[in-house]
Amino acid sequence: MSETLVITGAQLLGAERADIIVENGQISEIGTGLSRSGARVIDADGLVALPGLVDLHTHLREPGYEASETILTGTRAAAAGGFTAVFAMPNTSPVADTAGVVEQELALGEAAGYATVQPIGAVTVGQKGERLAELGAMATSRAQVRVFSDDGFCVFDPLIMRRALEYVKSFDGVIAQHAQDPRLTEGAQMNEGTVSAELGLAGWPAVAEESIIARDVLLAEHVGSRLHVCHLSTAGSVDIIRWAKKRGINVTAEVTPHHLLLSDELVRGYDARYKVNPPLRREEDVMAVREGLADGTIDIVATDHAPHPSEHKSCEWQAAANGMVGLESALRVVHQSMVQTGLIGWEDVARVMSAAPARIGRLSDHGLPLQAGAAAQITLYDPSAAGVFTESDLHGRSVNSPYLGRDLPGRVEFTIHRGLLTVDGGSVVEELNA
């Protein structure tokens, strides 16, 4: 059972100061001068209170790849970053393409207790792109799956993509597409552009992403279904999503923290921490995705947290795995790239990192406004803190972060999941009193 908490003087969404009382897993009261006999008091002076963060794109690796991450370690990392819910991508072994696997993931998340784990189901059997997976069975399972993706594999066959979009309409599901034309990116090692030409590395052209997005928004319009675009990364992709929304197409899109901050210039050092798919793009693309997030064209920030053992990154560039860990650093990077630059405020942060991802994923008890009666999913963040990001900031099994040694603002001081403190005074709670 969660303890009663009295949070005093928090800045709600960075604005007015208020006290928050948490009882029995819910916010029972918000006001000023509040108290409860026997409650634990948390002094939140100077802290921004946000609804618990929600990540729509997380790789937890379990079952099958526990050397990289487990659901326990991944959700500890999530809590450290202020997240109270994560959507687990299906690239596990076995692939999460059946009701049995997604129910296993759900149960492991419940047992860990650090964050809600909502499984994402594969679109096709084995993520092979050949035939549809058991979408209906996963939707009606105890996991109640509503998001389906082949993750690192594009659903390239337009007929299969159309059938998937048609199928999920019946239970209000959404297809989350990894937009990458496989023919245009064969052998690609980084973004195609000036830097790739100078380094002699095979390029991943922007059109390989943009052409798939263009096709899929038209398919979604034709079918009348929901489409979500994963890790959008180019200026042209922003333009296509903007056009599609003006046309009334039911499409949403995400951008990662690393695409908001880092550019392909970093590849010059051949440090494999910067190898990711889609690749880091030009500085012009970085500015475009920032603007797209600020004006609402891009709906959410999602981490694409992708842990790998050190041997998969401590090698030559061409042999290294794609991916970066990102849960612990996400809010701090958004603070630096979007809030400190004046592009968005804390209310917008709550929208793009909590409310909108919960809505897209149909996670009903997350992303709610901080108000009496809501589930106690709360992140308390110190925007005045700053420091160098180090391995001590990481709480998962892998350390492939592109931010190691970089100055980042802010610090998550407290994370509250269903009334339980999972982060207390900046430290992940070792044993939850569930």
* Catalytic residue positions, numbered: 304
* Bridge partner residues of 415 (DSSP): 379, 423
Pairing status of strand 48-51 against strand 378-388: antiparallel
Report the C-alpha gap between 267 and 318 in whole angstroms.
12
DSSP 81-103: TTEEEEEEPS-SSS-S-SHHHHH
The contacts of residue 43 (CB under 8 Å, 6+ apart) are 8, 9
Specify whether the CB–CB gap between 354 and 363 falls below 8 A: no
Taking 3-state DSSP, the helix, strand and coil percentages for the chain, each rounded to the nearest 5, stand at 35, 25, 45
Q: Please give the C-alpha separations between residue 349 and each of 256, 326, 343, in angstroms, as whole numbers.
A: 13, 16, 11
- Which residue in 41, 75, 36 sits closest to 55, CA to CA? 75
The contacts of residue 95 (CB under 8 Å, 6+ apart) are 101, 122, 125, 126, 127
Tokens standing for residue 161:
């993509």
Q: In which residue are the tokens 């996963």 written?
A: 138
Chain centroid, CA 9 distance in Å: 29
Would you say how long the chain is, in residues? 434
How many alpha carbons lie under 13 Å from residue 54 in its C-beta half-sphere?
A: 27
Give the CA angle between residues 403, 408, 410 to the nearest 5°.
135
Report the C-alpha gap between 382 and 398 in whole angstroms.
25
Reading phi first (left if > 0) and then psi (alpha if -120 to 50, else beta), residue 114 is in alpha
DSSP character at residue 187:
T
